[in-house]
Structure 1
């Protein structure tokens, strides 16, 4: 389990235990129903904050998926904040049932970091990339650069990002999460060969998004 989930899970377990004890002692129907709902919610939250180990592919040319989820959009786009050129944007939608731990897609140095407040449009929509609350992170490794974004959704109202400009990062390492449904975009330059397709399910730190030529 991720450390961000410890507080919510402990709180829910204590609440469920108290309600369940009350239901057993008093035999009141409303407490029995409440304890059942609380137990179900606890299981859902435990599932949401799970943090499975991943087998990180070895290879300096690989760009890994920064998140678990479904590829909902692949499009050509001019990226004007960091890469400043023609790119391919791969957008990954995370449902509440996906692992929400985010992982670094490429080893290197964090050269660019920006946080921007914004709206909370449904994360699977294309405009979410432009208008929603987000962090943008640019990594450089020699002549190679990529940009990726953590984007809040209609339910996700907190972005956790533990890296900042100047940090050195390793491909596949954990760097944060977005709570309760979200989206991650990754922008790759023209000298990258894509290895994913639309509607494909990917795993953070394990699936290969593309390969530098």
Structure 2
């Protein structure tokens, strides 16, 4: 199992109690405590997905940026969307989900910002605009059609840090890793009105593989933020 590098210090720290118990001869306690580093390692697991295996990407699909459950679809929640006219797709990540994040589509990062904030439970609507978050905008031109999406890594009640490993001007492939969120969070994706949403409330998503929306076939007609 591949483990993200950010998990190494957490795994090491969580293994100390088991090591201490083993050193003092308390084998049963050590065995019980050994569950903790295994659980932490599982949280930081980084499985390969279709893009990593060279699977061809359909340029018209928008992929899930995170593993989790769809908790909002359609008209943006009040006060949440960026400036302009958008549709919103929100994905809630439980502690059991893979927390590696991926870009929903290929393109260039044209803006990236981080905003400090609160640590409300990620399933609450107000967490989308009050919690700490990073926001990325990715633009692309496909068949003469301008495409633009915005997505956010939002921390939750247990999550205390967003890790973003990409920068403005960087070219991304669809489904490419862009970072992670530590210990339970949410991802919001904002797409223009002309995009067809392909998921419903309660659907489970797999980052880099699940199709959450689809662009209209490029025909030289601009589709993007208004």
Answer whether TM exceeds 0.5 for this pair: yes
Q: CA deviation at 1:146?
A: 0.2
Residue equivalent to 2:46: 51
Residue equivalent to 2:63: 64
Q: CA deviation at 1:163?
A: 1.1
Aligned 8 A contact 2:150 2:189 in 1: yes
Structure number with the higher strand fraction is 1
Residue equivalent to 1:162: 165
Unaligned runs of 5+ in 2: 217-226
The alignment status of 1:145 with 2:148, answered yes or no, reads yes
Q: What secondary structure, in the 3-state scheme, does the structure 2 residue paired with 1:47 have?
A: helix
Q: CA deviation at 1:16?
A: 2.0
Rounded to whole Å, the distance in 1 between the matches of 2:137 and 2:36 is 36
The alignment status of 1:7 with 2:2, answered yes or no, reads no
Q: Residues 117-128 of structure 1: matches in 2 within 5 Å?
A: 117-128=116-127
| Paired positions, count | 204
Q: CA deviation at 1:12?
A: 3.0
Q: CA deviation at 1:15?
A: 4.3
Q: CA deviation at 1:17?
A: 2.5
Q: What secondary structure, in the 3-state scheme, does the structure 1 residue paired with 2:39 have?
A: helix
Q: CA deviation at 1:23?
A: 3.0
Rounded to whole Å, the distance in 2 between the matches of 1:194 and 1:139 is 18
Q: Residues 1-213 of structure 1: matches in 2 within 5 Å?
A: 1-24=3-26, 32-33=28-29, 35-56=30-51, 58-77=57-76, 81=82, 84-142=83-141, 143-213=146-216
Unaligned runs of 5+ in 1: none
What is the TM-score with the length of structure 1 in the denominator? 0.89
Rounded to whole Å, the distance in 2 between the matches of 1:193 and 1:114 is 27
Q: What secondary structure, in the 3-state scheme, does the structure 1 residue paired with 2:129 have?
A: helix
- CA offsets 1:142-178 (integer angstroms, 9 cap, x no match): 2100000000001100110011211111111111000
